[in-house]
Structure 1
Amino acid sequence: MSDMIKIAVDAMGGDNSPKKVIDGIILNHKSNKDIFFKIFGDEEKIVPLLQKKIDKNFYEIIHTKNVVKSTDSPLEGAKRGKDTSMWLAINSVKNKEADIVVSAGNTGALLVIAKLNLKMIENIDKPALSALWPNKKNMSVVLDLGANIECSSKNLLDFAIMGASLYTSLYPDDKPNVGLLNIGSEELKGNEIIKETYKILNDKKSDNYNFDGYIEGNHLMDGNVNVIVSDGFTGNVALKTAEGTANFITEELKKAMTGSLIGKISSLLNISSLNKFKKRLDPRLYNGAIFIGLDSPVVKSHGGTDFIGFSNSLDVCHRIVRGNLIKKIKQNI
């Protein structure tokens, strides 16, 4: 038991919970036998879903009927009290009873409750919301995705260090390239904060990452840059645009393949290539945004994902803890 990773799971957050959360746990358990799940939520709903699916040595249920609703404002979610499944899950990380916490619930409430319960890592002023994006070669870490609308150059520098630490905890064999998201690749482009951050990153030599300068939105998927740094406003717009484009492409492909007879025949001929392409753009594979900057990592699973997506967010938790993310950030900062 001592070498097991303990994941605190808010079982009641997001669409179709707790079923999708429990099904995600069951799926994940098939490939990860070194995780102990601390499951927070309504026992009456959870027990029938879990019974006989997983050995009792791998989980415990902490019962509560109180939940943060998806319609709550962040403050309303926090005011629901200390016995909501979300609050209790975060609190178990604070009390060192779990290594990491994951929830598919209300994002704003999760960030507020996490900030109320967990300390910031020393010398970091603001936590950031980061996520994994597919690129042509592998994956990129992108941050901030909406936790901080306005950022100083110090914040952006912190994001670069935290993003690089996250990348190396997920991919221990790679040294990441860090890029600043901007409206052009020339040094003169962008606002004063971006230019100032560029100068600091360019002058600061780091053993943990290479600074690659500016990156424009149309090069996010090239794969030459592994860590993309931005303020939360720009990052969120970029994320939503990329998600929307991916959905548009897959929907249009579906239409083309199921429309005319020629479309159906050509799709049969290209079925394996098309399936590979569709799988590459499957948002469930990249599910699990990471709230970093606090002294314990908090993972946010997409509220609308299914059990496969939730299982992938548990994988992200597993890799973060095994990769010693918090220790890496503390060393690098």
Structure 2
Amino acid sequence: MSDMIKIAVDAMGGDNSPKKIIDGIIHNHQSNKEVCYKIFGDQNKISEIIKDKINKDFFEIFHTEDVVKSADSPLEGAKRGKNTSMWLAIESVKKKEAHIVVSAGNTGALLVISKLNLKMIENIDKPALSALWPNKKGMSVVLDLGANIECSSKNLLDFSIMGASLYTSLYPNDKPNVALLNIGSEELKGNEIIKETYQILNDKKSINYDFAGYIEGNHLMDGEVNVIVSDGFTGNVALKTAEGTANFITGELKTAMTGSLIGKISSFLNISNLRKFKKRLDPRLYNGAIFIGLDSPVVKSHGGTDYIGFSNSLDVCHRIVKGNLIEKIKQNI
């Protein structure tokens, strides 16, 4: 079992934990026998759920009753001490006892505790929060999504390299196509930092990715670009806008299809297409934001997701480790 991928799991973070977390591990294990889950949390609660559903060779439980609360500020979360499930899970990666860590807990605390325990990759100044977004042709990596409100051109250049490395790790058969999120596609649009970054990326030819210039918010889902780079303020606004729009569309469609007899008949006749549409916009499929720039990757599962969503974040962890993300960043930076 020594050659298995070891994922450190904070079992106590997020809504309905640890049940959702353990159910997610059980679901993930059904299709993946290459992972050993190192589970941090309340052993009594965890053992009751996991029982004999997974062979004992594939998991270990590390007992602690201390947890970071969802209402904690990032500093309060860190001050809760080194015996919380979140801290111990991250520390296991620091000690090289696990390859990667995942938590559905407090995002701010996760970022702070990760930075306290893990070193930055050499020559990278700031870590970034990245995630997968659906587009017409597949998936895109988008970063930064809120870790850094203000960024220099050096930061945005680093994000481009890290984002391209992440995309290659997850999708080894595709070449990344990088673009800067901006208010226009013309070279003269945007603030000085983004224009400066444009010039650097345009002049710096890379064999690891292609630079596609600027991309506007209304073209994020077109699929022409698969790595989208911005500062954390802009990226977070874009993320929340996209999430809100998707929820609005699915909500309105549901109302239209169930609000009248004609709507119900129409929805019955289109049941196959509606299921495809619902699956395409299912946020559980894209669950698992990745904190990159540290010498070990940290994955943040959405706190409100269910066990299917958490299982998908475990799948992201597996693909990142198998794709040698950290080595790719070090080589490309």
Deviation of the 1:33 alpha carbon: 0.4
When the two structures are superposed, what TM-score results if normalisation uses the length of structure 2?
A: 1.00
Match for residue 59 of structure 1?
A: 59
CA displacement 1:66-89 (0-9 Å, x = unmatched): 000000000000000000000000
Match for residue 252 of structure 1?
A: 252
Verify: 1:71 aligned to 2:71, yes or no. yes
Q: Secondary structure at the match of 1:27?
A: helix
Match for residue 221 of structure 2?
A: 221
Residue type at the aligned position of 1:329 = I
Q: Secondary structure at the match of 1:49?
A: helix
Matches of 1:141 and 1:86 in 2, distance apart?
A: 25
Matches of 2:82 and 2:293 in 1, distance apart?
A: 23
Match for residue 126 of structure 2?
A: 126
CA displacement 1:178-199 (0-9 Å, x = unmatched): 0000000001110000000000
Residue type at the aligned position of 2:320 = I
Verify: 1:43 aligned to 2:51, yes or no. no
Residue type at the aligned position of 2:277 = F
Deviation of the 1:166 alpha carbon: 0.1
Deviation of the 1:2 alpha carbon: 2.2
Match for residue 115 of structure 1?
A: 115
Residue type at the aligned position of 2:268 = L
Deviation of the 1:141 alpha carbon: 0.1
Matches of 2:169 and 2:279 in 1, distance apart?
A: 24
CA displacement 1:142-189 (0-9 Å, x = unmatched): 000000000000000000000000000000011010000000000111
Matches of 2:277 and 2:260 in 1, distance apart?
A: 21
In the alignment, structure 2 segments of 5+ residues that lack a partner are: none
Residue type at the aligned position of 2:241 = T
Residue type at the aligned position of 2:145 = L
Matches of 2:120 and 2:90 in 1, distance apart?
A: 14
Matches of 2:54 and 2:203 in 1, distance apart?
A: 52
Match for residue 179 of structure 1?
A: 179
Residue type at the aligned position of 1:35 = V
Match for residue 148 of structure 2?
A: 148
Matches of 2:227 and 2:107 in 1, distance apart?
A: 23
Match for residue 329 of structure 1?
A: 329
Matches of 1:4 and 1:34 in 2, distance apart?
A: 5
CA displacement 1:236-290 (0-9 Å, x = unmatched): 0000000000000011111111111110111111110011001000000000000
Q: Secondary structure at the match of 1:139?
A: strand
Matches of 1:73 and 1:268 in 2, distance apart?
A: 47
Matches of 2:90 and 2:281 in 1, distance apart?
A: 31
Match for residue 91 of structure 2?
A: 91
Deviation of the 1:3 alpha carbon: 2.0
Match for residue 265 of structure 1?
A: 265
Q: Secondary structure at the match of 2:124?
A: coil
Deviation of the 1:231 alpha carbon: 0.1
Match for residue 192 of structure 2?
A: 192
Give the % identical residues. Answer: 87
Runs of 4+ more than 2 Å apart: none
Match for residue 205 of structure 2?
A: 205
Matches of 1:3 and 1:84 in 2, distance apart?
A: 28
When the two structures are superposed, what TM-score results if normalisation uses the length of structure 1?
A: 1.00
Residue type at the aligned position of 2:34 = D
Q: Tell me the C-alpha RMSD between the 2 structures.
A: 0.4
Matches of 2:301 and 2:309 in 1, distance apart?
A: 8
Matches of 2:137 and 2:266 in 1, distance apart?
A: 28
Match for residue 295 of structure 2?
A: 295
Matches of 1:3 and 1:277 in 2, distance apart?
A: 39
Matches of 2:190 and 2:287 in 1, distance apart?
A: 31
Matches of 2:238 and 2:84 in 1, distance apart?
A: 33
Match for residue 236 of structure 1?
A: 236
Match for residue 281 of structure 1?
A: 281
Matches of 2:74 and 2:263 in 1, distance apart?
A: 47
Residue type at the aligned position of 2:75 = L
Residue type at the aligned position of 1:173 = N
Q: Secondary structure at the match of 1:214?
A: strand
Residue type at the aligned position of 2:328 = K
CA displacement 1:200-222 (0-9 Å, x = unmatched): 00000000000000000000000
Matches of 1:46 and 1:145 in 2, distance apart?
A: 32
Aligned residue pairs total 333
Match for residue 24 of structure 1?
A: 24
Matches of 1:111 and 1:222 in 2, distance apart?
A: 31
